[in-house]
Structure 1
C-alpha cells in the first residue's frame, strides 16, 4: 500500500473512534425511545394547546417537559455507564463512574488496536500527526465579513441608482437611501452576530470532530513517549 492510500485508510479511523460509534451506537432501540419520547410528548402537547389558544395549560406541559428532560438526561447517563462498563471497563474511574477522560481513554485504546504496533512507534506517530495536522480545517470570520461587504456593495450599487430614477427630488432620494442603508447595515450586523454566536460554535464542533484523529494520535504519543 503506498503512502497516499495508507494515509487515506487511516483517516477513515476518525469516524470509527467517534463517541457515537463507540458508545451511542451500542444503545438499544428501546433506550432511545425512553430518552426521546417522554420530553417529546409534552412538547407536542404545548404546540397543540398553543394552536387552540389554551395558554393556561401550556405552563403545565412546559413544566412536564422540563421534568421529563431531566429524567431522560439521567437515563442517558445511566445507559452510557452501562455501555462503558460492558465494553470499556478499563475507562471507568475509581467510583465506577465515567468522565470526559474516560472517552479519551476509550478512543486512544481503540485507535491503538486499529493502528497496530508498527504505526504506534514513535517515528510513525510523529509522521501521522504531521501529515494529518496539515489537513486540519481552519475557520475564518473573514468569509462572513467579506460576504457582508460584497452583498452590501451589490445592493447599494443596484438600488441607489433605482432610487434616483424614481425619486421626485433629491430630498426624496436622500430619505429613501437612508432607509435602505439602515436596513443593509442592520442585515450586515445581524449576519455577523449570528455568525459569531451561533455559526462559530457549530463550525468549531464540526472541525473538532474532523480533527478527532489527530488529537487522539497526539494523546497516544504523549502517553507512550513523553517524558
Structure 2
C-alpha cells in the first residue's frame, strides 16, 4: 500500500558537483527536495521505490548504481540497499539515488525506469503493482515539466508551456491522480515534458490511497519546469 510519495525534478545540475560554479542557483530547489525526502522517510515506509524516465523499461530490486561521469564529474551513487547489481541507473534514477544518499536512509530500495513512450494504461497498472509490493510503500518520483518556458530553454519558447506547468503544479499540490492520469501524451512530447510517464505511474499507485498533497517548489530557473511535492 502506498503511504507516501515525493515528486522531485531530476536535472543533473541538482548535484552541486555537476553544477560547479553555478551550484548556488539551485540551493532553494535542493532544500525543497531534501525536506520532501525527509517527510517521505517520516511516513515510515518499509520499502522505497524510485521511478524515473529511462531509455528502456528496467527494474532494480537488489541494488543498483549510477554515475555522473557523462557530465564530466567523477561521482558515483548507489541505491541505499544492496550492491551494484544490474545495469547502470538511468540519469533520472541516478539523481534520485543521490537524493537518498544525502538523506542517509538505509531502507530497502527498488528502482524502476519507464520510457517516455510507454502507454498510459501500462503506467497506471505498473503503479498499482508497485503500491502492492509491501504493506507500507514510499515512492520517490523523478521528472521535469515542460522544457519550453523561455527562448533559452532546451525546447525554445512555447506559449503553451507556462499554462501547462501551472496546471501540473496544481495537480501535484492537490494529489490529483485523475489529472495526472489524463495528461495529454502528445502535448507532453511537444513540450519536452520528461516527467509524464513517472507521474502517471504515481497516479496509478496513489489511486484509492487517500493521500493529500503539498506543493513545495514550482519554478523554471533554466526555462524548464521543476516541481517538488509531497503526498501523505
Structure with higher RCO (Cα < 8 A, 6+ apart): 2
Tell me whether the two structures share a fold, i.e. TM-score over 0.5: no
Larger Rg: 1
- TM-score band, normalised by shorter chain: under 0.3
- Structure whose residues are more often strand by fraction: 2
TM-score by length of 1: 0.25
- Structure whose residues are more often helix by fraction: 1
